[in-house]
A = this chain, B = another copy of it.
Amino acid sequence: MAEGARLDPWEPALRLEYDKLFKYFGVKPFGEVLDRVRRVFGEPHYLMRRGVIFAHRDFDVVLDAYERGERVAVVTGFMPSGRFHVGHMMVVEQLKYYQKLGFKLFIVLADAEAYAVRKLDRREIIDVALNEYVANMIALGLDLSRNVTIYFQTNYEREYYRLIQMLSRKVSMAEMRAIYGELEPAKVVAALTQAADILHPQLEAFGGYKYIVVPVGAEQDPHLRLTRDLADRFERELGLRRPASTYHKLVSGLDGLKMSSSRPDYAIFLTDPPEVAARKLRRALTGGRASVEEQRRLGGVPERCVVYELYVYFLVRDDRELARVYEECRGGRLLCGPDKDYAVELLVKFLEEHQRKLERARNLVERFVEPPKF
């Protein structure tokens, strides 16, 4: 079994984008630190092992700090628009891993950006943040009572807002345009806010310096670059340092394009009624051949199969089981029909269990995060 193949089931266009990150922007392959992860953290996260988390910046710095017993934290943000899907879940899976290791978590509910840039309704944003995002985090097993700061961008501490104001001094419109194109004021504010989301945990008011890692989708790297530059520019004045980051691949939608709440037919939401999710999954793009005969002869192509991708991301947690499915598909012994039956079975089971937990979780939400008053 070719590890590179098994662990890299993504479409060529996206892979080219990922290659650019290495080539032009100095992001490093995650594979290079995997052994050190094993020594320092113990077993790597399954998304690290499977190459879904495929790149990083300065993750070795965080490993060193962790080894020395220094304070470490993870920062991540959720845009509370639309529903919580398996792409979001992948981030929560990473948070759970870091939480077990003793990292402090900072979780941003990006309601300011959802309101000002995406122009969503404010009440709806708050409702979605609580009942979709926070509830799903809890149901997925994240312990929000344990060393976690979770906040709405519009309802936080003054030192955070002060940082947004201060950051604005040392960035030019030209730099911002290079990243975001032509900018409206809302986007300027949102970009500075996002930089503050990542950098503020280092400040005295938030417990003092800690090493930061930001797990993001690969397309988020430009934000990270800007934030790292800002950290450099405020190192002397505020003691800020560059955050580390890891990059994961994006979950494909069931049609092979990007998974997004705005295309609900091709996304698996964690609140989908199991029979609805099953129906969507049955229509998913696979790596099957033109005919059964051909597939028996040539084998399937899991690298181009959305169903297989879901195994990798969350449906199959056991690596040996994953390898077995991969081999059977490649060998032409597992055809798309029975494979989908298997995937549907796993998915329905997962959703049923998850949704039971979700019901309980919804009652806990306001215990952990204070929603803004309006």
**Interface set of A (CB-CB < 8 Å, partner B):** 112, 115-117, 119, 122, 153-159, 161-162, 164-166, 168-169, 171-173, 176, 182-186, 188-190, 192-193, 204-205, 237-238, 372-374
Which residues of B have CB within 8 Å of A193? 165
Whether B173 and A184, one on each chain, are in contact in the complex, defined by CB atoms closer than 8 angstroms, is yes
CA distance A346 to B185 in the complex (A): 49
Which residues of B have CB within 8 Å of A119? 169
**Lowest 9 A-B CB distances belong to which pairs?**
A116-B169, A161-B161, A112-B165, A154-B162, A168-B186, A168-B189, A116-B168, A188-B188, A168-B185
Copies of this protein, total: 2
Which residues of B have CB within 8 Å of A164? 161, 189
- Name A192's contact: one of B156, B159, B185 (CB within 8 Å): B185
Whether B165 and A115, one on each chain, are in contact in the complex, defined by CB atoms closer than 8 angstroms, is yes
Q: How far, in Å, is A115 (CB) from chain B's closest CB?
A: 6
- Name A115's contact: one of B158, B166, B192 (CB within 8 Å): B166
CA distance A126 to B192 in the complex (A): 23
Q: How far, in Å, is A332 (CB) from chain B's closest CB?
A: 55
CA distance A238 to B374 in the complex (A): 9
CA distance A122 to B204 in the complex (A): 17
5 additional A-B residue pairs with CB within 8 Å, beyond A112-B165, A112-B166, A158-B372 = A112-B162, A119-B169, A173-B184, A176-B185, A189-B189
CA distance A251 to B158 in the complex (A): 36
Q: How far, in Å, is A148 (CB) from chain B's closest CB?
A: 20
Whether B158 and A116, one on each chain, are in contact in the complex, defined by CB atoms closer than 8 angstroms, is no
Which residues of B have CB within 8 Å of A189? 164-165, 168, 188-189, 192
CA distance A192 to B169 in the complex (A): 15
